[in-house]
Structure 1
Amino acid sequence: MRLAAGLPVVLAVAASVAGWWLLLGVGVAALLAFGTRWAVPQGRGGLLRGARIGTLLGVAVLAGSAFAAYAADVVPGHARWPGGLLVAGAAVAVAAGIRFTAYWRRWVLGVLCAAAVVFTSVCVAIAPAAHTAPGSPDAGVLASAAVLYPLLGGLRGVRLAAAAASAAVVAAAALYQLGPVRLGLSVTSLRDVLVAADARVLLPLLAAVVTVAAAGAAVAALAAVRDELPGRGRTGVLVPGLAAALGAVVLAPAGAVLLAALLALTEVLLTAGSALRGGRRLPAAAVAVLAAAMLAGMVLVR
């Protein structure tokens, strides 16, 4: 759900800095997500718990902002308030004790996988107007990996491999149909992909898929925040949840993407630093170097 909620806006940001090389960025982001399992700290103190909560709230902000960006096909206008409303509603739902059970997660996953198959099929069914050469890789690869990492962070094993493969396939299909320049012009350029593929009729379906994914990602992220706040009861998630809702209203989608990347990579660096002190020096150092390089890539392309 996190991948499906963030990819509709993250792809455009990644394409704007890396072009076709964002496909390599998917691999780098997956590599960092894989490496974090070998850089586990000895304990989780207040600082690491705070970093984890920050990452989860960044995901909630990203989900709300993505929903608001694509809600124009459902809600008239281009205001950002629908994103804040979605995140606030998710916070209230989590405070009331609502969780996604395994049954509903399987159903939502099935719907999202079917949507990805339809989107990819539409993109490749009609030949694009022109092809664009990939160019040469540069710091944009690391920057694209940085903005993609929050969508893959925390996944392990088969789930990580499946998520990375899905992201790469959807990204390749969008790049094939629209090209990196047009894909990177707007954070909602997946709409343009469907229009270019003569599938304008699917725009409401795209908005519906983003809505389902964003709602699920926001609820899952805020439920994890609640679990990180022991002793505060169910209502303890309301304050951070409302703060995330405010972030979804204030930040444009590109800003939400950068915020989520910054918070997620900060957590990785703090976790790797704690693991270094705990004796896991080699894997923790490798993870720290890669995360720092991705942050540097973000700075360079800005």
Structure 2
Amino acid sequence: MSTTFTIDTSTSRATPVAAPMKRLTVPAIRDRKGKEPLVMLTAYTVRMAQLLDPHCDILLVGDSLGQVIYGFPSTLQVTLDMMCAHGAAVVRGSYHSVVVIDMPFGSYEASPEHAFVSASRIMSETGAAAVKLEGGQAMAPTIAFLSQRGIPVMAHIGLTPQAVNALGGYGARGRTNAEHDQIIADARAVADAGAFAIVAEGVIEPLAKSITAEVSCPVIGIGASADCDGQVLVAEDMLGLFERTPRFVKRYGDMAAHISAAVETYASEVRSRAFPTPDQTYQPKK
């Protein structure tokens, strides 16, 4: 079943009607462990949420919006204000998916109490179902603190973009024995702390398989393995909106080319005065 749209006559924009489906829940996501794979994509705006929602189980309002929407060089410049604004927009644009919002760098690392203040603000201002934070064993006490206080947490291990400076880049993780063992320990720690799901990013495939088999909550891969309990990608990457395609992304469209061609035609018609025609203008009433 998919979200139904009607036309708002005052704006001529598609607006969703909250009738046809019941939103998935965090327990329903957790119960998908070992069953039908979970479908997860990023969304940052109302309209993208409307388009993705019928096909996804989880919509992630990722701090990747810093690069995708704002043109920042990394996710480190993203603020809590940004995440709350975009998170609320995605919640408004969806009726089916569980909406998860990234906690930005600096909003949760200082202490569990600090994390609770940030997470509770996200939840109250957006209406989202859960938050996501990066880190393994070091963040386990924070995950437990939030979970015990009614805030569902999705964990993120392996390649953690907020720690890119400490990691030394965006390369795959788990190639050395020490790193392999640490990531396994991270997965166990965040699962035991109460994370309802784990994103495993940029880990070598055998390690992704081991993590998925090891923990009781769903493991959602990105640059990991088809054997994970689900997959997540940045929607703009898989739609082909950027020239660069990361190795772990399959392009399911070439939207950049479609947009460019449409704008080229529009520009040509404006310059030649072929647009607007009488069909797009208002005439005096007779």
Do they superpose with TM above 0.5? no
Greater RCO, CA 8 A, separation 6+: 1
Write 1 or 2 for the structure with the bigger share of helix. 1
TM-score by length of 2: 0.24
